[in-house]
Structure 1
Amino acid sequence: METHNFSIEFFPPKTAEGAEKLRVVREKLALLNPKYFSVTFGAGGSTQQGTLDTVLEIKQAGYVAAPHLSCVGGTRESIRAILQQFKENGIDRLVALRGDLPSGYGGGGEFRYANELVEFIRAETGDWFHIEVAAYPEVHPQARSPQDDMQNFARKVKAGANAAITQYFYNADAYFAFMDEARKLGVDVPVVAGIMPITNYTQLMRFSDMCGAEIPRWVRLKLASYGDDSASIKAFGLDVVSQMCERLLKGGAPGLHFYSMNQAVATTALWERIAGR
């Protein structure tokens, strides 16, 4: 796995207790030697300070940290100020996103799409930041069509992104088909596969409905059949996801980005299963 780009995502804790728990999780996951830790970003200011605080703490602990930056509802001035803060603190890696539209959102803000944010970051800061953008192998839930979604992705890359991270998925063929289409459009940046460990059936169904990630029918039925047997859900989830990860890496995926949900156990188990083969 050393030749692959392996990274782990956290969300900013909302309480002192959550922050202490994340420190313990971070130290456990740091033993896996990821390339960087990314930290998600709340639209409309909800966790923007939390993102910066978490990123600075990761950096002070001696690891590479990449804040997420979403532009929905942001102004050029507010985004410029955030970029300045990152630069002043020596942060040179970013995940640039449009971000989720808040409910009742009626427009506003000076950025409509992530490609406009990427262009702005490049215009303001040149090559200071290594910029990752999002990719959707199973099509963004708000896209007008798969073709339209692919054009949007190509625009983000052409605006100056260095690489991309996908939404999570459980069908490796979706990733390979997406990559074929992207290459046809001349997109040649690395696209790292986003990986969501399976630990809780109900939570997974809720997340997947929200973000448009498909859970294959056979996986869904098997998970449902275990009921409250959490050990069986986790063991089956580990088998399914680790086999997919191996197939992705063998098929040319440049790396894996784990959505840790601020937990260490599932990501560690997956990493050990993949690295041990």
Structure 2
Amino acid sequence: MTDCLSPIAADAPLFAGLPGDIAVSFEFFPPRTEAMDEQLWDAIGTLAPLDPAFVSVTYGAGGSTRERTHATVARLVRETALVPAAHLTCVGASRGEIAEIADRYWEAGVRHIVALRGDPQPGMGGQFAPHPDGYANAAALVAGLAARHPFDLSVAAYPEGHPESPSPQADLDNLKRKIDAGATRAITQFFFSAETYFRFLDRALAAGITVPILPGIMPVTNLAGIRRMGGNTAIPSWLEAMFTGLDDRAGPRALVAAVVAADLCRRLYEGGVRDFHFYTLNRADQAFAICQLLGLRPRDSQS
């Protein structure tokens, strides 16, 4: 692997000397309460000066946050200079309903959609069942959205495989179908080994996938939560050990999480990665600190 760090950075401790030549993007989720709304917009206000390439807003299971997602994205368009990306899934919606949602986003000035199949609805035994008049999968959704408007379309990628995929190759074939349908980039599920990501890139390139594949970075705030969200993501034993005894110590836990995620980002940087996507969980401090360590500074502090 080629070391892309400057000689100064390589000789200096930890992250010293990194030039900040990176692009970042951030994921948020729509708030459910007034307090959560305040936390979200505080986080957006903190991270906006880092000039992200885009900020995405998630879409709840079964479309449960449809209106809150739209309201959050519309406010981003109205009140900020950020580029919003609205998540949209196949779950619980007909093609006509999805077309209506897409039209509303387009009319609101949204030009970027994160197109996902979505998680199975409750009561379906953990199995995805498409709407009778809906899209069967993310590739079909991408094709439908691309035909509706010239959206910038992002899709999901799984370096360690989707939990429902019968094999790594089948999962990669599915990603290729999404790209061929019109997706312009992929964003990965979070992972904890840089080599996992680089091996996945090699396999994707061999399969003819040449669009950018952004690494999704998740600072670990709660190991139990990571296990629930992680699907096939391997949780290394060393990570388990680092969080031992921190269940009731939020401050130290957040510090360890930021250090672990920053170290992963530096390893990715050493391998040539310059684009990072952060799953913020509507908290700014860890993502901001990692960007600072990587040399990225807020616009108002740059000379």
**TM bin (shorter chain):** over 0.9
How many residue pairs end up in the alignment? 273
* 1:13 alignment partner AA: P
- Sort the Cα spacing of 1:181 and 1:228 in 2 relative to 1 into closer, same or farther, 3 A: same
Provide structure 2 residue ranges, at least 5 long, that are not aligned to the other structure: 1-18, 298-303
Question: Which structure would you say has the larger Rg?
Answer: 2
User: Taking structure 1 as the reference length, what is the TM-score of the superposition?
Assistant: 0.92
Paired with 2:111 and 2:247, the residues of 1 have a C-alpha distance of: 45
> Per chain length, whose mean CA-contact separation is higher, i.e. which structure has more relative contact order (CA < 8 Å, sep 6+)?
2
Supply the distance in 1 between the matched residues of 2:237 and 2:154 (Cα, whole angstroms).
Answer: 31
Matches within 5 A, 1:31-180: 31-62=49-80, 63-105=82-124, 107-109=129-131, 110-125=134-149, 128-180=150-202
Of 24-33 and 94-103, more deviation after overlay is shown by 24-33
Give the distance between the partners of 1:194 and 1:12, measured in 2 at CA: 19
In structure 2, how many angstroms separate the alpha carbons of the residues matched to 1:5 and 1:130? 17
> Bigger CA drift: 225-234 or 193-202?
225-234
Distance in 2, Cα, partners of 1:15 & 1:206: 23
Give unmatched runs, 5+ long, in structure 1.
none
By how many angstroms is 1:112 displaced? 1.8
Deviation per CA, 1:84-108: give whole Å up to 9, x if none: 0011111101101001011223724
> Any conservation in 2 of the 1:201–1:233 contact (CA below 8 Å)?
no
Alpha-carbon shift at residue 134 of structure 1 (Å): 0.3
CA contact (8 A) 2:63 2:91 kept: no
Kept in 1, the 8 Å contact 2:20–2:295? The answer is no
Q: CA RMSD in A?
A: 1.9
Q: How far did 1:207 drift?
A: 2.9
Q: Report if aligned partners of 2:77, 2:109 keep a CA contact under 8 Å in 1.
A: no
Q: Cα 1:189–1:102, aligned 2, differ >3 Å: closer, same or farther?
A: same
Inter-CA distance 223–163: structure 2 relative to 1 (3 Å threshold) = same
Q: What is the distance in 1 between the residues matched to 2:89 and 2:130?
A: 14
**How has the CA–CA distance of structure 1 residues 254 and 114 changed in structure 2, closer, same or farther, with 3 Å as cutoff?**
farther
| Inter-CA distance 39–114: structure 2 relative to 1 (3 Å threshold) | same
- What is the TM-score of this pair, normalised by structure 2? 0.85
Deviates more, 1:134-143 or 1:220-229: 220-229
Give the share of equivalent positions with the same residue, in percent: 38
Query: 2:21 & 2:212 partners in 1: Cα distance?
Result: 13
Whether the aligned pair in 2 keeps the contact of 1:135 and 1:165 (CA below 8 Å) is yes
